[in-house]
Structure 1
């Protein structure tokens, strides 16, 4: 049975000239197994790295949503100490509603705190 999703506090989404997406996020300890990104077109996505563990990508930027809504797969790059620790493709599954309680999804930082963070230190 899957555990409650781990909420990702910082991630980046990159788009290349072919409208392909890459999501860069903090590395996890375990290796992914049959990863799937579930998306409903809203402000959150759920990455199942394994059948037992998932990562909630919260508050997806509105400019990214149309591309993610059309994606068949995304490249995931997990980073640690400014280096890519692993990269893999995750297939995308588009659903009507994510299997999460969105009322329980809260920003991990207040807006003023987030503005003061030096993003270069987030990949350590």
Structure 2
């Protein structure tokens, strides 16, 4: 049975709290032992101890559209679908690229959406 990410994140957090409490008490806990005890990766514990949060809370770096732009694009696609207008990839990417061009600020290159 696969563990859910929430369950794993909770166990990682408990392991980190145990390690920090033991360190406060002057002990030197072994991260690998805690990882086995809580059934999580020692690398996840190490990242949390360094201050790196779980992936679910990180800002995604491969998104070009802002959340509001993405919602507007989705609403546009749904509206076109409701009136029977067929949507092709090249049309959707053109609309997204037009949004990015209109909101471009600065001298740098204008972002464009990729194939996916």
TM-score (norm 1): 0.19
More helix by share: 2
TM-score (norm 2): 0.20
Which protein is bigger by CA-based radius of gyration? 2
More strand by share: 1
